[in-house]
C-alpha cells in the first residue's frame, strides 16, 4: 500500500506529518530532497523515469502535491508559484463569454486579477454577497461556468455556507472553487462539503513562517486535474524545488500552529471586544456573528484572523495604532507564526476602488490582525499600549 493511501483513515495530526513523505528511493532520506535540477537524463529517446523537464515534473514538487491532496482530503494536488498563479490557472479553464459568479468580499488581488486581467479576455465576473447563497442562484445564467467563494473572507471575516453553495453549483452544472486560505485545511475541508476545487495561498498558513510565496489547488475529479495540470505546465507558473521543500516542512506543523492560532485568536478577539476605544470586532467565533452557526458547522475552530475598528473612525486614529505596536509587525500577508497588523484600505486591499470597499463594509479605519502563536498575554499587552 502506498504511504498516502494508508493515511486516509488517520487523524489530522498524523496525516499532516506523514503526508507526501516517502523515504527517498536512492538514499532513504526521510526528508524529501530538494531536486534542484532543470532536466533529467534519458536512457534512450523518450525512455525516462517519469521526469522529463522540471517545468512539467519535479520530485520535490510531486511530494508536495501529494501532501496537498492528503491534507485537503482530495485525490490530486497541484502547486503553483503563488496563490494568484493558482487562481489564474482556474480562470484559464474558461473561454471568452463564460461567466463567473464571485464573492463581493474577497482578497484584493483576486479581484484585481479578475477585473484588470481577465475581463479584457471576455470573461464576465458578477460579484454578489455570497453569505446569502440565494444571491448566487439569482445571478446564474446559462453562461455561468464557475462560482468563486472565499470563507472566511479577507478582511471582514464573512462566512459563506460551502455545502449550500455546492448544492446550488451542482444543480447548475458549474465548477465551485473555494479559497480556503484563511481557514487552512486544519479548520475546514471544502471538498468534503461538495466543492470541486480548493485553492490556497500556501504563502500563508501552509508555509506558516513568512518565508515563501506559493499557491495550491486540490481536487477530486481526474479530468479537472488533467486540465489544470495542462495549464500548470503550459503557462509555467510552477514553484521552485526549494520553495516546495519549505511548504512541505510547514505542513508538518500545521495542526499545532493552527491550534495555537485559534487559542490566541479567542483571547485577542475578546480583549478587543471589551476595550472601551474599540467599536466593532470582526471575528466569526462570536456567537452573535451573523453567520456564526455556519462557521461552527463547517469549521473546527475560528483561526487567528480578525479585524476591528476604533470608535474614533478617522484614518489618523487607526494609523496611530498601526504604527505603535511592537510585537504585531506592520506588514501585508498573514498566517505566519509571528503576529502582523495591517491596514487593508491602504495595503492589502488598495487595489479595490474606495467606493466598492466602503460599500462592502471595508472602511478606511479598519485594522486587520494576523494573530501569531506568541504568548497571548504578551500580545494583549502590545495591543493595550498601542490602543492606549
Ligand X SMILES: *Cc1c(COP(=O)(O)O)cnc(C)c1O
Helix extents (H) in 113-240: 134-139, 162-172, 184-187, 222-235
- Find the catalytic residue in 15, 35, 105, 107: 107
Based on the shown chain and the rule CB under 6 A, indicate whether residue 215 belongs to the binding site for ligand X: yes
Strands 215-219, 175-179: pairing is: unpaired
Among the listed ranges 14-22, 52-60, 174-182, 267-275, the one in contact with ligand X (CB under 6 A) is 174-182
d(CA 285, CA 263): 11
Q: Which of 61, 204, 225, 368 is catalytic?
A: 204
Q: What cell was used for 149?
A: 467563494
Query: In angstroms, what is the minimal distance from the CB of 274 to ligand X?
Result: 28
* Residues touching ligand X, count (CB under 6 A): 16
- CA dihedral of 238, 242, 246, 251, whole degrees rounded to 10: 50
Q: Which of 16, 111, 182, 282 binds ligand X (CB under 6 A)?
A: 182
107 binds ligand X (CB under 6 A): yes
Q: Which one of the spans 132-140, 179-187, 272-280, 322-330 is the region binding ligand X (CB under 6 A)? A: 179-187
Asked if 130 touches ligand X (CB under 6 A), the answer is: no
Q: Is 342 in the site for ligand X (CB under 6 A)?
A: no
Among 324, 331, 329, smallest CA distance to 347 is for: 331
Q: How many CA atoms lie within 13 A of 344 on its CB side?
A: 33
Q: How far is the CB of 173 from ligand X (least distance, A)?
A: 26
Q: How far apart (Å, rounded) are the C-alpha atoms in residues 64 and 172?
A: 33
Among 6-14, 22-30, 178-186, 370-378, which window interacts with ligand X (CB under 6 A)?
A: 178-186
Q: Which stretch binds ligand X (CB under 6 A): 71-79, 199-207, 252-260, 292-300?
A: 199-207
User: What does the per-residue mask of binding to ligand X show for 247-286, with x meaning CB under 6 A?
Assistant: ----------------------------------------
Q: Is 204 a catalytic residue?
A: yes
Task: Count CB-CB contacts under 10 A for residue 367.
Answer: 26
Is 375 a residue of the active site?
no
The answer to whether the CB of 321 falls within 8 A of the CB of 310 is: yes
Count, residues in the chain: 388
Beta-bridge partners for 74: none
320 three-class SS: helix
Task: Say whether residue 83 binds ligand X (CB under 6 A).
Answer: yes
Annotation marks residue 179 as catalytic: yes
User: 3-state class of 296 per DSSP?
Assistant: helix
Cell of 148: 468563486
> Can residue 204 be called a binding residue for ligand X (CB under 6 A)?
yes
Short-list 296, 302, 256, CA closest to 281:
302
Q: Give min distance, CB of 84 to ligand X, in A.
A: 4
Catalytic residue selected from 55, 75, 112, 252: 55
Strand partners, 340: 329, 370
Question: Which one of residues 32, 66, 110, 298 is an interface residue with ligand X (CB under 6 A)?
Answer: 110
Q: According to the binding rule CB under 6 A, does residue 154 interact with ligand X?
A: yes
State how far the Cα of 290 lies from the Cα of 73, in Å rounded to an integer: 29
Query: In this chain, which of 65, 99, 150, 382 binds ligand X, going by CB under 6 A?
Result: 150
Q: Residue 374's closest CA among 260, 282, 284, 237?
A: 260
In the complex with ligand X, the residue whose CB is nearer, 213 or 331, is 213
139-147, 197-205, 253-261, 363-371 -> range binding ligand X (CB under 6 A): 197-205
Q: Which of 65, 179, 196, 382 binds ligand X (CB under 6 A)?
A: 179
Residue from 32, 58, 60, 82 in contact with ligand X (CB under 6 A): 82
Q: Do the beta carbons of residue 100 and residue 119 sit within 8 Å?
A: no
Which is it for strands 367-370 and 340-342: parallel, antiparallel or unpaired?
A: antiparallel
Using CB under 6 A as the binding rule, whether residue 127 contacts ligand X is answered as no
The number of angstroms, rounded, from the C-alpha of 287 to the middle of its chain's C-alpha atoms is: 24
* Contact range with ligand X by CB under 6 A, out of 12-20, 50-58, 177-185, 380-388: 177-185
Can residue 84 be called a binding residue for ligand X (CB under 6 A)? Answer: yes
Q: Residue 50 has what DSSP assignment?
A: S
Q: Which residues make up the interface to ligand X (CB under 6 A)? A: 82-84, 107, 109-110, 150, 154, 179, 181-182, 201, 203-204, 213, 215
Catalytic residues: 55, 107, 179, 204
Amino acid at each position: 500500500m502506498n504511504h498516502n493511501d494508508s493515511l486516509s483513515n488517520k487523524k489530522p495530526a498524523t496525516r499532516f506529518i506523514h503526508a507526501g513523505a516517502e523515504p527517498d528511493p536512492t538514499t532513504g532520506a526521510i526528508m524529501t530532497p530538494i531536486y534542484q535540477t532543470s532536466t533529467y537524463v534519458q536512457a534512450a529517446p523518450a525512455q525516462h523515469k517519469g521526469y522529463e523537464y522540471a517545468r512539467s515534473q519535479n520530485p520535490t514538487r510531486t511530494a508536495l502535491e501529494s501532501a496537498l491532496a492528503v491534507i485537503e482530503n482530495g485525490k490530486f494536488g497541484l502547486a503553483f508559484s503563488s496563490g494568484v498563479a493558482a487562481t489564474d490557472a482556474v480562470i484559464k479553464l474558461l473561454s471568452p463569454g463564460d461567466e463567473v459568479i464571485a464573492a463581493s468580499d474577497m482578497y484584493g488581488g483576486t479581484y484585481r486579477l479578475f477585473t484588470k486581467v481577465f475581463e479584457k479576455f471576455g470573461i464576465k465576473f458578477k460579484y454578489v454577497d455570497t453569505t446569502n447563497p440565494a444571491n448566487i442562484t439569482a445571478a446564474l445564467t446559462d453562461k455561468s461556468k464557475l462560482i468563486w467563494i472565499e470563507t472566511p473572507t479577507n478582511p471582514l471575516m464573512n462566512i459563506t455556507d460551502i455545502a449550500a453553495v455546492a448544492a446550488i453549483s451542482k444543480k447548475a452544472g458549474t465548477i465551485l472553487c473555494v479559497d480556503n486560505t484563511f481557514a487552512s485545511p486544519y479548520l475546514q475541508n471544502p471538498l468534503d462539503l461538495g466543492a470541486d476545487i480548493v485553492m490556497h495561498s500556501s504563502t500563508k498558513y501552509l508555509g506558516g513562517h513568512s518565508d515563501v510565496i506559493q499557491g495550491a489547488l486540490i481536487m477530486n475529479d481526474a479530468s479537472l486535474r488533467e486540465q489544470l495540470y495542462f495549464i500548470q505546465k503550459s503557462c509555467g507558473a510552477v514553484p521552485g524545488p526549494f520553495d516546495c521543500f519549505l511548504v512541505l516542512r510547514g505542513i508538518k506543523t500545521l495542526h499545532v500552529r493552527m491550534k495555537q492560532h485559534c487559542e490566541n485568536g479567542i483571547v485577542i478577539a475578546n480583549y478587543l471586544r471589551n476595550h472601551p476605544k474599540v467599536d466593532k470586532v470582526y471575528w466569526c467565533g462570536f456567537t452573535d456573528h451573523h453567520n456564526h452557526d455556519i462557521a461552527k458547522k463547517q469549521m473546527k475552530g475560528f483561526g487567528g484572523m480578525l479585524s476591528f475598528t476604533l470608535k474614533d473612525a478617522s484614518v489618523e486614529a487607526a494609523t496611530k495604532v498601526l504604527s505603535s505596536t511592537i510585537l504585531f509587525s506592520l506588514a501585508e500577508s498573514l498566517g505566519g507564526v509571528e503576529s502582523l497588523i495591517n491596514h487593508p484600505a491602504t495595503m492589502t486591499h488598495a487595489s479595490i476602488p474606495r467606493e466598492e470597499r466602503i460599500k462592502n463594509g471595508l472602511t478606511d479605519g479598519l485594522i486587520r490582525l494576523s494573530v501569531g502563536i506568541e504568548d497571548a498575554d504578551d500580545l494583549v499587552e502590545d495591543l493595550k499600549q498601542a490602543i492606549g
